[in-house]
A and B are shown apart, each in its own frame.
Chain A
Amino acid sequence: MHELWQIFFSFFKIGMFTLGGGYAMIPLIQREVVEKHHWLENKEFVELLALAQTSPGPMAVNAAVFVGYKRRSLIGSLVASLGITLPSFLIILIIAMYLIGFRENHYVESFFKGIRPAVVALIAAPLYSLGRSMKIGWGGILLAASVAATIAFAGISPATMVVVVALLGLLHGIIRKKPEAD
Chain B
Amino acid sequence: MQLYLDLFVSFFKIGLFGFGGGYAMLPLIKHEVVNAPHQWLSMIDFTDIVAISQITPGPVAVNMATYVGYSVSGSVFGSLLATIGVCLPPLLIMLIISKFYLKFRKNKYVEMAFSALRPGIIGLIAAAAISLMSPHNFIDRTSIVIFAVIFIASLLKIHPIKLIILSGVAGLILY
Q: Please name all residues of chain A whose beta carbon is closer than 8 Å to the beta carbon of B62 when the two chains form the complex.
A: 21, 58, 61, 85, 88-89, 92
Residue tally, chain A, CB below 8 Å to B: 99
Are B154 and A143 in contact, CB atoms less than 8 angstroms apart?
Answer: no
Are B119 and A144 in contact, CB atoms less than 8 angstroms apart?
Answer: yes
Partner of B90, one of A55, A89, A95, A148: A55
Minimal beta-carbon separation of A155 from chain B (angstroms): 8
Are B169 and A114 in contact, CB atoms less than 8 angstroms apart?
Answer: yes
Interface: B58 (CB within 8 A): yes
Query: Considering the chains assembled together, what is the distance between the CA atoms of A40 and B133 in angstroms?
Result: 42
Interface: A59 (CB within 8 A): yes
Q: Which residue of A lies closest to B98 (CB)?
A: A69
Query: Considering the chains assembled together, what is the distance between the CA atoms of A174 and B137 in angstroms?
Result: 44
Q: Do A58 and B59 contact each other (CB < 8 Å), given the known contacts A88-B66, A120-B129?
A: yes
Q: Do A118 and B61 contact each other (CB < 8 Å), given the known contacts A65-B95, A110-B172?
A: no
Partner of B130, one of A65, A66, A70, A148: A148
Q: Please name all residues of chain B whose beta carbon is closer than 8 Å to the beta carbon of A157 when the two chains form the complex.
A: 31
Partner of B151, one of A95, A114, A121: A121
A82-114 residues with Cβ-Cβ distance < 8 A to B are: 84-85, 87-89, 91-93, 95-97, 100, 103, 107, 109-114
Q: Please name all residues of chain B whose beta carbon is closer than 8 Å to the beta carbon of A77 when the two chains form the complex.
A: 91, 94-95, 98
Closest 5 CB pairs of A and B: A114-B171, A88-B58, A57-B90, A147-B123, A169-B116
Binding site for B on A (CB under 8 A): 15-23, 47, 50-62, 65-66, 69-70, 74, 77-78, 81, 84-85, 87-89, 91-93, 95-97, 100, 103, 107, 109-131, 134, 136, 139-141, 143-148, 151-153, 155, 157-159, 161-163, 165-170, 172-174, 179
